[in-house]
Amino acid sequence: MMRFLRMLVRIFAEAGLGMWRSGWQNIVIISILMSTLVVFGIMLEFSVSLKKIAANLLGSQTEFSIHLTDGTDPDSMKRKLNKFKEVVNMKLTTKEEAWEQTKSMLQIDLDDSLNSMPNTLTVRVSKPQEAAPLIYKVNGWKKEVEHISYAPTMVRKLNVVKNLLILLGTFISGLLAAATFVINFNTIELVIRSRKEELNLLRFMGVTNWFIKGPFILQGILYGLVSALVAGSLLITIDVFARYNWQKIMMQQFGLVDLFWPSGEELTQVLIILTIIGILFSSSSSFWATERRLSA
């Protein structure tokens, strides 16, 4: 057992020595792998956020918002809607209130003459299946109704955005991943080639195959680990600095706050996933290089 542990420690030492001997190539590999992981991490964070938004919106299937045209009297509209027995509740947000909310959120003082916000009636029906027929009817009131916001429509739009983001992220990650794989593979292969005589000597001395291959695979694992740590730190920094602005965007576009930013727990999960992917990725390319060059 002690002998095994000593060998393990020495394999670690050999891997460290190997990295030291790889010089500037370490920086290239780690930079590219880190970039891959950052793109992948941002994609994951977006995915988590959009999923949460979609889930929240789907939870509001019994609710829709009617943005009224200028000149429409909200009270007469309320009376008109009250005639439908499926309407259980209505809430009016006047254009002044909406304007104040926007100014407060953006933290800027705008002239009230610029207010283009509509009066909005948020209507709740008793059952989700009652929403669509009512929306269909209300949508026909062209004079009074400017626009209707209904969650499932937004969910569909969000899903399109999410899918596009995932596609784009996957494409960019794929390109970077391929570049990392090739560079890591080539670096390990170059190191093996440049040390061919030495490695042959070790073989002839009776050094076991895994003692020769182990440091190279470990070198790959270390690349993955270091890249993931740097990428994780970068993501946390982005998270801290961008959170405030992100929230503003969410508020502007969807009227949603706080809830949809990945929580600490979710961010930790993203970082763990990145670390695992980084390690798997770089160690597998190292493993492949050693299998190709050191199997005999």
Partner 1 sequence: MIELYRVCKEYDNGQVALKDVSLHIPMGQMVFLIGESGAGKSTLLKILYKAEQFSSGRVLIGRVDISRLADYSQLRRRIGLIFQDYRLLNHLNVFDNVAYILRAQGASEKEIRYRVEGALNVVGLLDRSKEMPQHLSGGERQRVGIARAIVINPPVLLADEPTGNLDPVNSLKIFQLFKEINEKLKMTMLIATHDPRVHQLKKRIIQLSVADRQIVMDTEPSNLPMFGSLLL
To the nearest whole angstrom, how small is the minimum distance from the Cβ of residue 210 to partner 1?
Answer: 10
Strand partners, 91: 122
To the nearest whole angstrom, how small is the minimum distance from the Cβ of residue 176 to partner 1?
Answer: 33
Q: Which is nearer to partner 1, 207 or 276 (CB)?
A: 207
Q: What is the CA radius of gyration of the chain?
A: 29
List the x/- string, 13-52, binding to partner 1 by CB under 8 A: ----x---x-------------------------------
To the nearest whole angstrom, how small is the minimum distance from the Cβ of residue 5 to partner 1?
Answer: 8
Q: Which is nearer to partner 1, 201 or 280 (CB)?
A: 201
Q: Does 295 bind partner 1 (CB under 8 A)?
A: no
Q: Does 6 bind partner 1 (CB under 8 A)?
A: yes
Q: Which is nearer to partner 1, 62 or 290 (CB)?
A: 290
Judging by beta carbons within 10 Å of its beta carbon (0-12, 13-18, 19+), is residue 130 exposed, middle or buried? middle
The residues, any chain, with a CB within 8 Å of residue 177's CB and separated by 6 or more, are 36, 281
Structure tokens at 200: 């042959």
To the nearest whole angstrom, how small is the minimum distance from the Cβ of residue 6 to partner 1?
Answer: 5
Q: Which is nearer to partner 1, 52 or 203 (CB)?
A: 203
What is the rounded CA–CA span in Å between residue 33 and residue 263?
A: 25
To the nearest whole angstrom, how small is the minimum distance from the Cβ of residue 228 to partner 1?
Answer: 29
Q: Which is nearer to partner 1, 124 or 203 (CB)?
A: 203
In angstroms, the Cα distances linking 258 to 105, 108, 242, 265 are 12, 20, 13, 15
To the nearest whole angstrom, how small is the minimum distance from the Cβ of residue 7 to partner 1?
Answer: 4
What is the rounded CA–CA span in Å between residue 120 and residue 145?
A: 10
Which strand ranges, in their side-by-side order, compose the sheet holding 120-125?
A: 87-93, 120-125, 63-68, 145-150
What is the rounded CA–CA span in Å between residue 29 and residue 26?
A: 5
Q: Which is nearer to partner 1, 139 or 208 (CB)?
A: 208
The residues, any chain, with a CB within 8 Å of residue 276's CB and separated by 6 or more, are none
Residues 201-240 touching partner 1, rule: CB under 8 A, are 201-209, 211
Residues that bind partner 1 (CB under 8 A): 2-4, 6-7, 10, 17, 21, 197-198, 201-209, 211
